[in-house]
Amino acid sequence: MSISQEKLDSFQARMSAWVASQGILFQLKHGGGVQGARHSVISSVVSVGLRLALLLVVVALGFWWYLDRRVGSAGFSEGISSGLTVSLGADELELGGVSREGGYLRIPILVVSGGDDSFFKETDRDTEDDKPVPGLFAKGIRTKMGLLDGVLTAWDGESVDVEEMVIELRSGAESAGDGAGLFDTLFAQSETFRFSRLVVADMTIRWGYSEATKGEIRNARMEATRNEEGWSLVFTDGQFSQNWLRDLEIKTIEALVRPDGLEVTNADLKQGDGMVTFTAEVSGPVTDPRLSGSGAFQSLSITPFVEPEVRDYLGGDISGDFILSGSTYAQEGVRIS
């Protein structure tokens, strides 16, 4: 019994159409046994592949658009503000327009009022508009940020670079309860952002509440590096003042900041041809931090350290050793003997 070619072609066409309607997996498994179905399988695979590729391209473009635009969104700025408020223990925080340029996150300006858990606090130092000085002010902040940082990968900024920063440092607390965890934020690492280095081109740190305790490092360059114990600090340039030692030029100040206190391992200062060197340590409870240390001065002009009305009658250079004691917080103040 012979089958006409016309009937055979018609049967194979119906089988091919039926196989094509069964789905891609059935076609891949059985389509090869039906003449004409193989071409249908290939056509289906190509069609599905093209659709899938197009879908992936659309998803990729949408995800890239989100990554590129998220830093400029209100939600991202609010997240940065909220994270900084918590990590700094701040009461109030204001920051300028956050942006991402050239692989770096940039914050033009940051103004923070210190809270009960912060290591800084606004002060009533004299200002032109009689407004309190914020506890922490910074401008020109920059840190590394890739497109995927904080989304698919951990965000490690490595180094935070700042053009200018001013900190009104808290030197202690009235009670142990008020001072509990006062400096903890200095050593904590955020789960969402990590960095191991802080570089400030123009750094000013002020401390003390009275003429007997006030001191400052002004307009210095600071490099702070995180280590196992806390932070290693190096100051260069700028000026140092404490008590009658005023406006000494900083050659180098090296210090270690740990949870149990501060240690100045080397301070090398000068004034004209005169030199001042010292080491010091601040330790003890936050209610009564104690200062101890020693140093020496050589060929230091006495003129800047005496009152203007007696400068015409008293002058010369002084050299000698001195002992540091007292407190940067208690009423007795810092003593230089």
pLDDT computed for residue 1 by the predictor: 47
CA gyration radius, the chain: 34
pLDDT band at 141 (very low <50, low <70, confident <90, very high): very high
- Return the top range by mean pLDDT from 20-24, 146-150, 296-300, 313-317: 296-300
- Which residues does 267 contact at the CB level (< 8 Å), separation at least 6? 240, 252, 253, 254, 276, 277, 278, 279, 280, 295
DSSP 308: G
Could you tell me which residues come within 8 angstroms of residue 332 by beta carbon, excluding any fewer than 6 positions away? 212, 326
Q: How confident is the model at residue 309 (pLDDT cuts 50, 70, 90)?
A: confident
| 235 — pLDDT class (breaks 50, 70, 90) | very high
**pLDDT interval class at 101 (50, 70, 90):** confident
Q: What mean pLDDT do residues 132-160 have?
A: 83
Query: Could you tell me if 236 and 252 are in contact, meaning their C-beta atoms sit under 8 angstroms apart?
Result: yes
Nearest-CA neighbor of 255 among 277, 238, 280, 276? 280
Yes or no: say if 310 and 302 are a contact pair by the CB < 8 Å rule.
no
Query: What are residue 42's phi and psi, to 5 degrees?
Result: -60, -45
Q: Kindly write down the DSSP assignment for every residue of 137-169, as one continuous string.
A: EEEEEEEE--TTBTTTB--EEEEEEEEEEEEEB
Under 8 Å between Cβ of 269 and 275: yes
Which region holds residue 29: left if phi is over 0, alpha if psi is between -120 and 50, else beta? Answer: alpha
CA–CA distance, 294 with 142 (Å, rounded to integer):
38
- pLDDT bucket at 34, cuts 50 / 70 / 90: very low
Predicted local distance difference test score (pLDDT) of residue 150 = 65
pLDDT score for 266: 97
Q: Return the pLDDT at 249.
A: 97
Highest mean pLDDT among 24-28, 50-54, 92-96: 92-96
Q: How confident is the model at residue 176 (pLDDT cuts 50, 70, 90)?
A: low
Backbone angles phi, psi at 281, to 5 degrees: -145, 135
Instruction: Give the residue-averaged pLDDT of 121-131.
Output: 62
203 to 77, 137, 163, 214, 238: CA distances (angstroms): 25, 10, 8, 17, 8
8 Å CB contact between 83 and 112:
no
| 35 vs 277, residue with greater confidence | 277
pLDDT at 15: 60
Q: Which of the given ranges, 201-210, 232-241, 328-337, has the highest pLDDT on average?
A: 232-241
Q: What is the pLDDT of residue 193?
A: 85
- 196 class by beta-carbon count within 10 Å (0-12 exposed, 13-18 middle, 19+ buried): middle
275 vs 68, residue with greater confidence = 275
At 84 the pLDDT is 85
Listed residue (247, 208, 179) closest to 332, CA to CA: 208
Residues whose CB is less than 8 angstroms from the CB of residue 219 and which lie 6 or more positions away in sequence, other chains included: 202, 203, 204, 237, 238, 239
pLDDT at 174 over 80: no
Tokens of 72: 């400029």
Which among 323, 316, 281 has a CA at the least distance from the CA of 301? 316
Question: Range with the lowest mean pLDDT among 32-41, 186-195, 240-249, 269-278?
Answer: 32-41
Q: Mean pLDDT across the chain, nearest whole number?
A: 80
Residue 234 confidence (pLDDT): 98
Asked if pLDDT for residue 312 goes beyond 90, the answer is: no
Q: What percent of the chain has pLDDT over 70?
A: 72
